[in-house]
Structure 1
Amino acid sequence: MEVSGLWKVFGNDAGEIINSERRTASKESLLEETGCVLAVRDVSFQVNRGELFVIMGLSGSGKSTLIRCILRLIEPTAGKVLIDGEDICGYNSKRLIELRRHTTGMIFQYFGLFPHRSVLDNVAYGLKVRGVAREERYARAREVIAKVGLKEWESYPPSALSGGMQQRVGIARALATDPEILLMDEPFSGLDPLIRRQMQDELLNIQAEVQKTILFVTHDLDEALKLGNRIAIMRDGEI
């Protein structure tokens, strides 16, 4: 995966700003002069296949906006996102949906589990959306549930699980569809320190087995150093 010259400016004159002398202005002066908010400025990097690449930055640095721009959950103002050599910024909605279903998976800080579904049904949901037959999707879901250590919990609702266990369900749900790329937006930041360290170890163990391409966002330097093959530091929308 490669990101090239990616910009995100929130506001009515976003396109004009990045094509004018104002492209080098500070976030503060842009906001004061134009009312536009600069979130990501001319970001470029590559993530190698099978690499766990960490983007680290403080709150407000633009890291969460960046990861959402990569999947076009937020539309970039300019730039390219290349996956397998194709610029997905040119994809229509149908191709973008297919990319999200088959090539990428995303794990958020807040688990996003369906409260009325069991662990098994939550993990199998992405496969259900794909149209995978019930028996096949449940078999795959059970496989990844066992991988994250929740085999005995598959029939329980998320409310019966601790925060760390719920995040394991989120990881299992992402793995169930066997994506090439995982994007993880501060997935452990809402957990207490002991559970957080356990989840970091779990992720490293899982990654050693599955060898996915992972883009991991964090504000924690210790977490970045522990997990990352490489680390990019983000500040004021820049790397």
Structure 2
Amino acid sequence: MNLTIGQAEQLINDILQAGLRLKEGQEVVVATPFPYLLKAKALLKNTPGFYVAAQNCASEKSGAYTGEVSAEMLASIGVDYVILGHSERREYFQESNAVLAKKIDLALANGIKPIFCCGEPLEVRKAETQNEYVAKQLEESLYHLTEEQLKDVVIAYEPIWAIGTGLTASAAQAQDMHAFIRGQIAAKYGREAALRLTIQYGGSAKPSNAGELFACPDVDGGLIGGASLVAADFLAIVSHLG
């Protein structure tokens, strides 16, 4: 929940004017607040490899849910991706794994690719039960999907304990969890599906640590938070993609 429309437009223009050249298979997804989605679509429409995401969608198809925004509404304005299950949505709005499963289904039914966030809080990491915690998130929100549906899902691992706490997840910790997630998907859907899956890292990635994180074999990119609000920082992070 940042920036006015003028500031948001300036940020996107600053990124575009840098002349960023993406390699084959790379994408930049700009996730804006709901009021800015159409403007972002217009600004990015002629830039190959750039897409637009919403930061959330409703868990119901339509109806008397004042203030909510449905997946169908997002699809009608050409939104490509939607972030679901972000740690802030889970914490502040009590979004459960079951609710997120409904949102996943609605997004896919409307041709929108979900970026599904998972990850553990500090007390779980301290108890060393993070694998079980994340496995439950995957099972309860994703495992009802078919392998074909899973092709359109991106997973973003957020170590909640490393976001805004002063603590930092090491590249080794990030790689361990990403490998664990890929292994869980392989056990459920097969090795090919697991290798095809994009797993992003979302734990305070910034220019100073992006290179080390993105060099990890199972880290396929980043879900960038605060650093995405500064064009130079965001561009520096993108430059570290393999």
Q: TM-score range by the shorter chain?
A: 0.3 to 0.5
Q: Higher relative CO (CA 8 A, sep ≥ 6), structure 1 or 2?
A: 1
- Larger gyration radius, structure 1 or structure 2: 1
Name the one with the larger strand percent: 1
